Structure 1
């Protein structure tokens, strides 16, 4: 089959890994943007607000499904855990994801007075995203085998086709829930098909699941999961506060102006994600100085990307976003610029999260996230209730800045301790 041959083609692995990781990351980041853009034009601002909180919830619970394991799996160069046990651990975490999502959604529906449709949209959005969790463990294995290109091609095709079908569903049925159900069934089928075509190209040891190893893996990665979960809670704390204190329409507007924030992390991932394999090798080989220089260079790249995005948003941000979402966003220009500054801190904290995992200081990550999450829990509703959208923007930026400061300290400590042992 031509598609199967395309997915497994390996003439220039490094180049294809970069290109298809960039394409897949872009589609993943802009998936909600495109879906929201079509939704706003076909159904209106209220439905867009429901989508925004549903997508935020689904991504929060996706951290339960992924369990923060990707960076650990990629950097497991010595084969501490087998793929069979990685895969079973993902089955466990994905089931936990859906149980948690359903229980939380039922609680939120009763507490905030959700309609039946809003409740169903949130649950189906979580089902839609659980495919990402299961797919991630296969693609982590491919990347560990230095074939990031295969996983990236699969992800790009799956997400691209799914977005098109979701958009067509909205136009034809004029119903968000029906369109989401169709997209969920389709994306599941594509994942199963693409995985069946590609997994056979890799040397997967046929062995029984070792439940002791599965639980040991879940235990060792628990700090990564806790950190990832708290990270998404921190990033979405303004949305939860808006959901509790303001309206679905303002939720939609916040979602619109927050969209460019993820561009910074996206552009950083284009460059950084393909480097993870080499960085893991550098650290394992004891090339600490070279490792640190690479991280410093990438940090400067994040700063440069942030500055360019802020300048671009100052000049063109409001008119472009207003046109994209068919909504007047002129009153929120200051909030947009402030959120982009927070996006720079988000990009840097994501970079530091990965490298702290590579140097195996992941337990410390959890406590850094916990401190900032506690601040978010205590302050979010009060700040957003008092200052509205500006309060949400200030809250986001401050939380991300504090997180960065903590992670810089953890990284510096880990590197200095390693140098003393060499």
Structure 2
């Protein structure tokens, strides 16, 4: 890896951490200012929108950055993302209304979904940047966007004393920076033209399994929170989500470590270099494990102090949630990592089977776990789903790579 690539990766990691860190600050401040009720509504909006943003993303990014043969053009990727974003918003709206949420909750969900769609549109632009070895654009974009959206959220939230006002300001700010910075920078790299719908439909057929995988992958993290809100209340969900929010930085940090290597994995697989593929995957797994160990040690010695410092003394009764939450983030992180590898080798069948198995276990086990273990049951549900999915996908990947080695020998 040359110095420019390292610099770009550092920019990308820095920008994403700043962005997610500031989003976490938003969650923390909502909890401190208004208590767990507003935090619960915000968490509900985040969870529901996270599920439906998988339709907007449609699993394209991993496919896009590993499309070494140029099956689809940049314009086709962008045009398809517009269609998928509009579809995701419509489906989210229908779900929210049919699920019987209050008007206030529905508005919160849709506003946060609008905010997420700005992220999702940026994602396809950042895929183009990554293919042009300009991930620094993504990092700088997230740094700007994180700062602007956080400031605008608090402007709306504090001036109007309304969560939805803050979400509206945040969504508009996110779209503004996406169009004024992200899109403007990508135009310098390539010429983007809108394509007719019939020309991008083949992409939907090719990447539909990836969309299904992303939906199932997201469900492992969001369904337990959904069940928790139904079985308990918004306050319990708010407390759980407040502690869960900083743990998401772990998943994000791990993603910034392995996602930039998607192209390298694709290159190794195209060369049938199974040993190199496995070696790189093993090294990345080890890095993630080391990070997890360090975080667990820090949580053991300073977790309670840190949570009280951030959320105040009222969080003390929920400190016991921290360690299970950390374990569930580790499980879902490995699940996402092996999902990326299965995408690279284009093993979509096993990708769906593994994801479906993990989601099914999660959906079945979570209600029982919540009934017996209380709020921690949500974490145990995620751990069960992530572990089952990871075991299946890793086994399927090894079998796939061994078949590749056999083909190479036969040739």
Post-superposition offset of 1:122: 1.0
Distance (Å, rounded) in 1 between the aligned partners of 2:238 and 2:312: 12
Q: Using the alignment, how far apart are the partners of 2:407 and 2:147 within structure 1?
A: 47
SS of the residue corresponding to residue 256 of structure 2 reads helix
Q: Please show how residues 265-414 of structure 1 align to structure 2 within 5 Å.
A: 265-326=251-312, 328-414=314-400
Q: Which residue of 1 aligns with 2:97?
A: 106
C-alpha separation between the residues in 1 aligned to 2:351 and 2:4? 32
Name the TM-score, length of structure 1 as normaliser: 0.91
1:275: Cα distance to partner? 2.3
For residues 323-360 of structure 1, the C-alpha deviation after alignment (integer angstroms, 9 at most, x for no partner) is 21235333444432122122212221121111111111
1:14-413 maps to which residues of 2 (within 5 A)?
14-108=5-99, 110=100, 114-204=101-191, 209=195, 211-326=197-312, 328-413=314-399
Counterpart of 2:402?
416
Task: List alignment gaps of at least 5 residues for structure 1.
Answer: 1-10
Task: List alignment gaps of at least 5 residues for structure 2.
Answer: none
Q: Which moved more, 1:307-316 or 1:333-342?
A: 333-342
User: How far did 1:312 drift?
Assistant: 1.0
Shift of 1:53: 1.0
Aligned residues: 407
Which residue pairs with 1:3 in the alignment? none
Q: Alpha-carbon deviation of 1:211?
A: 4.4
Counterpart-to-counterpart distance in 1, 2:199 and 2:406: 32
Maintained 8 Å contact 2:60/2:210:
yes
TM-score normalized with structure 2 length: 0.93
The CA RMSD measured in Å over matched residues stands at 2.0
Assess if the C-alpha contact under 8 Å between 1:121 and 1:177 holds in 2. yes
The structure-2 alpha-carbon separation of the partners of 1:350 and 1:334, relative to structure 1 and needing over 3 Å to count, comes to: same
Task: Say if 1:205 and 1:250 are closer, same or farther in 2 by CA, change over 3 A.
Answer: closer
Q: Deviations over 1:220-255 (max 9, x none)?
A: 111111111111111122211111111111101111
Q: Greater CA deviation, 272-281 or 86-95?
A: 272-281
Deviation at 1:23, TM superposition (A): 1.5
- Return the alpha-carbon distance in structure 2 between the equivalents of residues 138 and 353 of structure 1: 22
Cα distance change of structure 1 residues 28 and 356 upon mapping to structure 2, 3 Å threshold: farther
Show structure 1 runs of 4+ deviating over 4 A.
Answer: 210-213
Shift of residue 416, structure 1, vs aligned partner: 0.8
